[in-house]
Amino acid sequence: MIKVGIVGGTGYTGVELLRILATHPEVKLTAITSRKEDGLPVADMFPSLRGRVDLAFSSPDKAKLTECDVVFFATPHGVAMAQAPELLAAGVKVIDLAADFRLQDIASFEKWYKMPHSCPELLKEAAYGLVELNRDAIRKARIVGNPGCYPTTMQLGLAPLLKAGVIDASHLIADCKSGVSGAGRKAEVATLFSEAGDNFKAYGVSGHRHSPETLERLSKLTADKVGLLFTPHLVPMIRGMHSTLYARLTKDIDNAALQALFEKAYKDEPFVDVMPFGSHPETRSTRASNMLRIAIHRPNDGDTVVVLVVQDNLVKGASGQAVQCMNLMFGLDESTGLMHVPILP
């Protein structure tokens, strides 16, 4: 059994990790930390886990994290890199759901996250945790930087086109929407029900910290210079993410061949569903699952290809993807414990 620790078990990604790992056949939940909730049974805070998780939260100084096989960090940016050296020295693998090990460009990390990177040497060996595009590196890694939710949709939606060299890489557009849970569980005015409900808005238009992450990774898929215009939006729902991606075709390619690019790229991927050409995937078709769905459009058979991508921002966009990485790191089938059917309604 894989002994698992979770640092930061009280947020949305933390409880999503608990939900998934509580029924994972190869996992033993060993430690779950929270300074504020030290001693509180997990099931008292999250009644959905009654009968599934019998641990209590423990403060980080009490938790025996070095006795775990792997530790997930479901914490604010900066926490994982502070604790990773000690854990790695003890032979514990690290999966960070924040941004500490996502960006290889340290200057870019420090610009967007407003903090110095405390372990650049460890950053060099960290694997980026988008399994479908980086499987071999994750399998061998001690440290994984889990991708951001928006970058997951943008990369998987654009990768087949960039690899095939059929689009203008310098003028990519991503129009993306996320449910309110993407902002985390902390109390903020902008995410109060009366503020976020019955409302729709863009944010981060002048620049968003998921842009440099996405650009860094997309640039590895093509020799061409990549330019991305990315605009995120907040929609009045709890879970779900919908990204509409636009790219200009530069090669003469018919619709059947476009569809074939995606079907070939993802034919063996358990968590990427390429829908029939012209489909309209809905966020609810992925709710509470690790599935990401893609559909391709070509309006008026013109020179613009439109890619629609949906996922659950807390699962494939965060905790489910992290467990997918853990499975690879420990030699398991990557779908182990993750074959949940999306819930409806």
Q: For residue 12, what pLDDT is reported?
A: 95
Class of domain 2-125: alpha beta
Q: Which of 68, 149, 176, 325 is catalytic?
A: 149
Q: For residue 124, what pLDDT is reported?
A: 95
pTM over 0.85: yes
**Cα-trace Rg, the chain:** 20
Helices (H), 26-180: 42-45, 79-89, 106-113, 120-125, 131-139, 149-164
Burial 108-119 (b: 16+ CB within 10 A, else e): bbeebbeeebeb
Give 10-residue mean pLDDT values along the chain (345 residues). 96 96 98 94 96 95 94 96 97 98 96 94 97 98 98 98 98 97 87 92 95 97 97 97 98 97 98 98 98 98 98 98 98 98 94
Q: Give me the residue spans of the domains in the chain.
A: 2-125, 150-313
Class of domain 150-313: alpha beta
Nearest CA to 81 out of 51, 38, 117 is that of: 117
Q: For residue 82, what pLDDT is reported?
A: 96
149 is catalytic: yes
Q: For residue 72, what pLDDT is reported?
A: 98
Q: For residue 333, what pLDDT is reported?
A: 98
